[in-house]
Structure 1
Amino acid sequence: MEYRRVGASGLAVSDIAYGNWLTHHEPGCVAAALDAGITTFHTAAAWDGGAAEEAYGAAFSGALRDELVLCTGVFWPEGPGPNAAGLSRKHVIASCEGSLRRLRTDHIDVYQLLRFDFRTPVAETFLALSDLVRQGKVRYVGTSEWTAEQLLQAHEAAQRYDVPLIANQPHYSMLWRVAEAQVMPVCDRIGVGQFASVPLAQGVLTGKYHDGRIQAGSRAAGPAYARPLLMPELLERVELLRGVADDAGLTMAQLALAWTLQHEGVAATVAGASTPEQVTENAKASGVRLDLDVLTRIDHLLGSFVQTDPRLVWSPPAQPAPART
């Protein structure tokens, strides 16, 4: 496993990170990640009504906490009330307290603002974050799917309130390169590194859907995150990547993960897994260098299916707010 610094900060993370958005029900995946040298783990307060954070809290009970970089985030609805979502001071502080309780820890290493909140002043959010940082509950702050303009607002507020803003988490894969045109250059300028999210395109880039069939237990069998990508023409192109991966001595998943790590601004690529074996396979993408020929073949095969429009923001389908007990 290789480790990289996040942006201009001194924080080192494993370049392969594990995220438990849809896969927190398999505790063996965390053990496999630790065995592979993965030190960086992502989750969020709203995922499965807090169950994703609780899974990490149980899994890390015996792990040496100081060796881990634990990332969680706030924005999505955590209950039915009008203040149970967004980035208001009230919700940010309440959500952080809940995350600490579920994660069974006294601090969050990277606390992420998972979307921009158009109804809350950026200054209000960062003043709340400043308090959490001074209290020792948050070490660093990140964003996710913020535009270049919004990141500049965040940078200004972070400087004003002494908040260590170091990371951004864009959806970034061979197929979705929206962040490259504006977000990544701005982040480089302000010292913010990238956590590449959804690098396997919900499993599409692993080749598992090459025949268009949705297997029971796959990502596409659950909430319809992957289904918009299950176009026959795209799946045919993705299947052609198998030859590129074979020539490089990689699995298709390793090729997709390694591709994201070729961008110098990417500190880590965040992938989930359904089985411990998948975690072990993903970890082997750490440190892989793809030569120009491989990168050119990928671009040629995917062609017009690559999305680069900087105006786009990727979000999962809306889910009903969980009822807190």
Structure 2
Amino acid sequence: MEFRRLGRSGLNISEISYGNWLTHGSQVEEEQAQACIKAALDAGITTFDTADVYANTAAESVLGRGLKGQRRESLEIFTKVFWPTGPGGPNDKGLGRKHIMESAHASLKRLGTDYVDLYQAHRFDRTVPLEETFGAFADLVHQGKVLYIGVSEWTAEQITQGAALARELKIPFVSNQPQYNMLWRVIEPQVVPASEREGLSQIVWSPIAQGVLTGKYKPGQAPPAGSRATDENGARMIERFLNDDVLTRVAKLESLAADAGLSMAQLAVAWVLQNPNVASAIVGASRPEQVHENVKAAGVKLEADLLAAVDEALDGVIERDPTLTRSP
């Protein structure tokens, strides 16, 4: 495993991080989830990403149990706040002070830790003054319950506004967590330049496009049984990629990966890590062997001609529109 600094901070995180969005507490049984966490630890992953909304808080509890007994100082534990949790009361969502403070304390309890290394605004909340949101984050930082602040799927303008407030409050705002992969590059025109300017890194989710870039979805064929595309939540995220034009072009990557001595999944994860503003690629898993395969992308350097060949293979289906980065 190799490590990168998160933004302009002094925090080192593993190039490959382990996330449990659509798996722990929902798709994957407890025993298998724990086996995947152990595989991540055995592979040298030290960075673990979750959120209170995943499986309506169950994913945090599963991760907390999986990391129990590990040396806390050797781990970087990330979680998020924004989406509705609990019974869905009027203050069970958003980035108001009440929800942030209550959610943070509940996350710490479920994760079995006194602090999280990174606490992230899971989306931007237009209904709450940004000063209130960052004021609550600042209090958590000053209380020692949160070490660094991050966001997820914020626009360049929102990142710039947040960075100005963070400087005023003297709290470390260090990261953005966007979707980013060979097919989905909407952060490149605006979000990445703003992040570089403000000292933030990207911690990217869906580096293999919900499995599309592994080659397991074939043009003209139904999705494999048990795949992400057959899960209700996963299907909504993956449907934009499940058309024959995209899948036909993705199939061209197979020979490129083979020539580089990589699997298609390894090529996809290594591709996002070529972007110097990316600190880590989040991978999930339903089986331990998936973890072991994906971590082999750490430290891989892709030659310029291979990167050009990827662009040529996918030409016409790459999404670059920066307006597609948005919050509800």
* Alignment TM class, shorter chain as reference: over 0.9
Q: 1:270 corresponds to which residue?
A: 282
Q: 1:60 aligns with which of 64, 67, 74?
A: 67
Q: 1:27 corresponds to which residue?
A: 34
Q: 2:218 corresponds to which residue?
A: 210
Find the residue that maps to 1:126 and give its secondary structure: helix
**In the aligned structure 2, how far is the partner of 1:309 from the partner of 1:205?**
20
Would you say the 8 A contact 1:171–1:314 is kept in 2? no
**In the aligned structure 1, how far is the partner of 2:6 from the partner of 2:162?**
17
Q: TM-score, normalised by structure 1?
A: 0.95
Q: 1:5 corresponds to which residue?
A: 5
Q: Which one-letter code corresponds to 1:20 in the other structure?
A: N
- Deviation of the 1:18 alpha carbon: 0.8
Q: Going by fraction, where is helix more abundant, 1 or 2?
A: 2
**In the aligned structure 2, how far is the partner of 1:204 from the partner of 1:278?**
14
Q: 1:133 corresponds to which residue?
A: 141
TM alignment of 1:24-173, pairs within 5 A: 24=24, 25=28, 26-79=33-86, 80-173=88-181
Structure 1 unaligned residues grouped into runs of 5+: 319-325
TM alignment of 1:165-184, pairs within 5 A: 165-184=173-192
Q: Which one-letter code corresponds to 1:102 in the other structure?
A: R
Would you say the 8 A contact 2:155–2:326 is kept in 1? no
Q: 1:219 corresponds to which residue?
A: 228
Find the residue that maps to 2:68 and give its secondary structure: coil
Would you say the 8 A contact 1:13–1:39 is kept in 2? yes
Would you say the 8 A contact 2:14–2:47 is kept in 1? yes
- Deviation of the 1:227 alpha carbon: 2.4
Q: 2:207 corresponds to which residue?
A: 199
**In the aligned structure 2, how far is the partner of 1:5 from the partner of 1:251?**
27
- Deviation of the 1:314 alpha carbon: 6.4
Paired residues, number: 316
Q: For residues 33-63 of structure 1, give each alpha carbon's deviation from its aligned partner in whole angstroms, at most 9, with x where no partner exists.
A: 0000000110000111111100111001121
Structure 2 unaligned residues grouped into runs of 5+: none
- Deviation of the 1:253 alpha carbon: 0.3
Q: 1:254 aligns with which of 257, 260, 266?
A: 266
- Deviation of the 1:313 alpha carbon: 2.1
Q: TM-score, normalised by structure 2?
A: 0.94
**In the aligned structure 1, how far is the partner of 2:267 from the partner of 2:326?**
22
Runs of 4+ in 1 over 6 A off after TM superposition: none
**In the aligned structure 1, how far is the partner of 2:275 from the partner of 2:241?**
24
Q: Which one-letter code corresponds to 1:218 in the other structure?
A: S
**In the aligned structure 1, how far is the partner of 2:222 from the partner of 2:10?**
45
Q: For residues 184-214 of structure 1, give each alpha carbon's deviation from its aligned partner in whole angstroms, at most 9, with x where no partner exists.
A: 0011011101101111110000111124322
Q: Which one-letter code corresponds to 1:265 in the other structure?
A: N
Would you say the 8 A contact 1:210–1:238 is kept in 2? no
Q: 1:323 corresponds to which residue?
A: none
Q: Which one-letter code corresponds to 2:93 in the other structure?
A: A
- Deviation of the 1:83 alpha carbon: 0.8
